Amino acid sequence: MPKKGLKERIQAGDNIIVAEGYVFELERRGYLRAGCFVPEVVLEHPEQVKAVHEEYVHAGSDVVLAFTYYGHREKLKLIGREDELKSLNIKALRLAKDVADRTNALLAGNICNSTIFKRDCPDAVEKARAIFKEQIEWAISEGVDYIVAETFSEYAEAALALECIKEYGKVPAVVTMIAHAEDKTVDGLAFGEAMNKLYAAGADIVGLNCGRGPTTMLSLIRDIRKTYKGPMAALPVPYRTTPDEPTFQSIINLETGKQAFPEDLTAFHCSRTQIRKFAEESRELGVQYVGLCCGNASHFMRIVAEVYGRTPPASKYSPDMSQHFIWGDKNFDSYHTEYRNTLAPK
């Protein structure tokens, strides 16, 4: 059965479930180094990348996102593997394509913040353009359905990435920005204004990813929705951010008095109930392109998919505590009641 493209789905009012978070998930599994966060795993353990792609589709993702985030020239140069740049990108794209083809999912290419962009420095702008150009052209050569450009702090870099997709890719574009402590871009635009400008420039979907957890991202999405009415993306990190600690980089671990990012973030993961609430509120806000970013896991994605009306293969294994021998919905004799009370005394 032919799959509907990104534009067709958006125009039809469909929702798109998107699993991201490959960097953190593969770091958690012991195949990627925190700090540089370069996807060397694509070259060294490709079977692990493919396994995560398969897990995310199993959990309900409509998209297989090629793991080329931070797989760009500047990052490969940092670890002395710039000569493997093209092979990493092509390998990542082909791993994703294999899973997308087998599951009838959309295949997305991926470009991201260049880490060297300076809006007032023509040389830095051109270097960022060259980074985007080569990754886009490799993605197109492998037949992606669309390209995600993500995690931009500055509107200017997001606009440059979109310009490059339109010029070198000529495929649909999803452009998402990262919100830090303030409710505006690093170059001073209100996010509603930035979203409208990106959409007017030709992005098919715009929104936010990474940085903020569900609570602090949704408050900003609500504000954006006052002025931007087009197709919206929301992909927070699944961590318990607050107005006082609005990003996962700002969370302080009280046991150490230090920044929790990245090694101690596990203690601040959202609960499944919080992820369900995020998905419910996103759906009410008309977020069509929804998912999770760094810290994502398959059980979280299943919840998002189910809230959006899906029944992915993983739903076969959704929790059913009625079948639990202690906590289940059955009549207990005095022995089991007494045992249960020792586990959770009232």
Give the integer Cα–Cα distance in Å for 225 and 229. Answer: 6
Q: How far out from the chain centre does Cα 89 lie?
A: 19
| Distance (Å, whole) CA 95 – CA 31 | 16
**CA 70 – CA 72 distance, rounded (Å):** 5
**Side-chain-facing half-sphere of 92: CA atoms under 13 Å:** 27
Closest alpha carbon to 185 in 220, 161, 219: 220
Mark the binding-site residues for Zn(2+), compressed into ranges: 210, 293-294
Q: How far apart are CA 145 and CA 106, in angstroms?
A: 6
- The two beta strands, 146-152 and 173-177, are parallel
Query: Which residues are part of a known binding site?
Result: 210, 293-294
The residues, any chain, with a CB within 8 Å of residue 342's CB and separated by 6 or more, are: none
